[in-house]
């Protein structure tokens, strides 16, 4: 990717994703993946999302690691380790338009499930943790969005937002580490990396500043609506190019 405008756009995308992540505790990948995939292509867009999301989760977890529920998270991350390679293989061996359509479909479906609050006893307990981890690992390495299955597990386990955030961050650190190991670090120039890092830093500052001013419910609704629009546009682009 070359040109200041494209690099500035990438920095803005990362900044927006980081802002909503710090504001609501979720949303970086849902918001950033569709735009980054369209800007960089599926492979590089997903790889950059894995790197950035992992960093954000690690910084957040450093402040709140004591509330991680290892009894639920260990089965999740073990299951994700089994499915991350499959997601990487699928994304690498399908034509780019198919990957675009698949990424858009996964983002759109994930957002709709979270918005509807899918509730089922089968999504709880050990089996639910294994299913959420496996689905999240595959989705994270193939499409960059591994969080929604964990959100659905937390919903069915009756977790509060305060309980959910550190556990989601723990899962994010581990599954994004797996995904980066499988997909590799994105091959971007020094200038692009500079804009991406600047976007992460500025986004964190903005998100923290807004956290005390914007109602959490309204912020989450905005994130999901933007993610739904992004997923839909990526799906349409992929379908039109097939």
Residue boundaries of the structural domains of the chain: 4-241
The pLDDT of residue 118 is above 70 = no
DSSP SS3 for 216: helix
Report the share of the chain in percent with pLDDT over 70. Answer: 95
Q: Model confidence over 123-139: pLDDT tens digits?
A: 678 888 898 899 889 98
The pLDDT of residue 82 is above 90 = yes
**Per-residue model confidence (pLDDT) at position 107:** 80
Minimum mean pLDDT among 12-16, 49-53, 90-94: which range? 90-94
Look up tokens 């976007």; give the residue.
Answer: 199
CA angle 195, 198, 202 (to 5 degrees): 135
The pLDDT of residue 52 is above 70 = yes
**Per-residue model confidence (pLDDT) at position 117:** 66
- Alpha carbon distance 56, 204 (integer Å): 9
If you average pLDDT over every residue of the chain, what do you get?
Answer: 85
- Alpha carbon distance 37, 33 (integer Å): 6
Q: Model confidence over 161-187: pLDDT tens digits?
A: 778 888 888 999 999 999 999 999 988
* Chain mean position to CA 43: 15
The pLDDT of residue 150 is above 70 = yes
Q: Quick one: average pLDDT of 91-97?
A: 87
The pLDDT of residue 212 is above 80 = no
């Amino acid at each position: 990717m070359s040109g200041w405008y494209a690099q500035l756009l990438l920095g803005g995308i990362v900044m927006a994703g980081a802002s909503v992540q710090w504001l609501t505790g979720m949303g970086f990948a849902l918001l950033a993946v569709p735009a980054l995939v369209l800007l960089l292509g599926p492979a590089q867009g997903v790889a950059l999302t894995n790197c950035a999301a992992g960093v954000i989760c690690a910084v957040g977890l450093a402040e709140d690691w004591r509330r991680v529920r290892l009894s639920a998270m260990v089965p999740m991350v073990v299951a994700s380790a089994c499915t991350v390679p499959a997601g990487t293989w699928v994304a690498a061996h399908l034509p780019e338009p198919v990957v675009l359509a698949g990424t858009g479909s996964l983002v759109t479906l994930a957002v709709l499930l979270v918005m509807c609050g899918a509730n089922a006893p089968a999504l709880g307990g050990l089996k639910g943790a294994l299913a959420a981890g496996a689905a999240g690992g595959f989705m994270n390495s193939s499409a960059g969005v591994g969080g929604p299955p964990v959100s659905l597990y937390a919903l069915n386990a009756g977790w509060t937002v305060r309980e959910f955030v550190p556990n989601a961050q723990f899962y994010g650190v581990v599954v994004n580490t797996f995904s980066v190991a499988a997909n590799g670090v994105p091959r971007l120039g020094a200038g692009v990396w500079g804009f991406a890092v600047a976007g992460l830093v500025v986004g964190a500052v903005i998100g923290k500043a807004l956290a005390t001013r914007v109602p959490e419910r309204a912020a989450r609704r905005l994130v999901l609506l933007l993610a739904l629009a992004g997923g839909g546009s990526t799906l349409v682009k992929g379908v039109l190019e097939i």
